[in-house]
Amino acid sequence: MHKILISRGKKEYIPELEREVTTRKALRYYVTDLNKDFHTKYGIISKKDLKKKDGSTIKTDRDKEFSIFTSQFADDFRKLRRAPQTVIPKDFGMIIAETGLGKNDTVVDAGTGAGALACALANVCKKVITYETREDHIEVAKENIKFLGIKNITIKNKDITKGITEKNIDLITLDLPEPWQAIKAVQKALKIGGWLVAYTPTTTQASQFVEEIRKNESFLFDNTTEIIRRKWIIEGKRVRPQSAEIGHTAFLTFTRRIK
Ligand SMILES: C[S@@+](CC[C@H](N)C(=O)[O-])C[C@H]1O[C@@H](n2cnc3c(N)ncnc32)[C@H](O)[C@@H]1O
């Protein structure tokens, strides 16, 4: 079990400066070891206090207050090892929403990479079988799966383009450089009505994938989407988009097997 420590920030209007100034910085810590005292910027929290129930207010030895609660999936996900590049929440959220993935569904995923997408999908569906050619990436994925405590993922050290053993699959996700190479294998594994989603960083990958899908009578191209997330600052009268944003990640192409 991991814990989150939160200390709210505070802004005050300073008449002499005629503007709001941060008088207390917001702090957020992720605590992985509850059997050791935890060091913050403002002093130490004892291991005894780290075990207090969710919602408790605890103090450092320098009297700084924190709220404490057990970390949730979204908190733990932020802490995964990210080598290689992983799929992030704005994109996996769209995959789950668009395909309507649910608790009775089985997913095949490739490549596993760091296992981030596999974990995000496994968190809401029945089972994920994920294919990966590189053993070093499988080691990273295993570490991440263990860290999240996920039990419904099977990793296969196999090239997905050479064939998928599973049948009647509800969703297949492809995050690999040439997803069109896997279409034949996917066709045999995916159930009629099932979804095939390709995650491709470049426009050329997305268009090549869509062209190959269009040549195949068994598939129907549904849409290609890019998710652009814009966070806002909301502080009194200062209400505006944040300046620094995550830029482009990838295009999501949604297709379905229709026969
Ligand atoms: C960008 S990473 C995937 C990241 C992963 N979706 C995540 O969220 O952590 C792409 C992975 O695909 C693997 N890969 C490439 N071609 C493959 C293939 N034909 N079959 C299985 N894995 C493959 C690579 O080794 C690499 O680990």
pLDDT band for position 14 (50/70/90)?
A: confident
**Interval between CA 139 and ligand 1 midpoint (Å):** 13
- Domain of 43 in residue numbering reads as 3-71
Six-digit token string for 37: 């005292």
Count Cβ atoms below 10 Å from residue 95 Cβ, excluding itself: 23
Cα 238 to Cα 182, 191, 198, 242, 243, distances in angstroms: 49, 51, 39, 11, 13
CA of 114 to the centre of ligand 1 (A): 8
Atom of ligand 1 nearest to the CA of 114: 9
Is the beta carbon of 179 within 6 A of some atom in ligand 1? no
Kindly give, in sequence order, each residue whose CB lies less than 8 Å from that of residue 26, ignoring residues fewer than 6 positions away. 6, 7, 8, 9
Q: What is the rounded distance in angstroms from the CA atom of residue 105 to the CA atom of residue 85?
A: 26
Q: Where are the alpha helices (DSSP H) in 29-122?
A: 47-50, 73-77, 89-99, 116-122
Is the peptide bond preceding residue 111 cis, with omega within 30 degrees of 0? yes
Using the atom order of ligand 1, give the atom closest to the CA of residue 137: 27
Same domain, residue pair 30 and 132: no
Residue 37 belongs to a domain with what CATH number? 3.10.330
Atom of ligand 1 nearest to the CA of 120: 8
> Do you know the residue count of the chain?
259
Q: What is the pLDDT of residue 205?
A: 98
Q: Are 95 and 136 members of one domain?
A: yes
User: Is the shortest distance between the CB of 58 and ligand 1 below 6 Å?
Assistant: no
Do 175 and 243 belong to one domain? yes
Q: pLDDT digit string (tens) for 30-89?
A: 999 999 999 999 999 999 999 999 999 999 999 999 999 999 999 999 999 988 889 999
pTM above 0.85, yes or no: yes
pLDDT band at 222 (very low <50, low <70, confident <90, very high): very high
127 shares a domain with 20: no
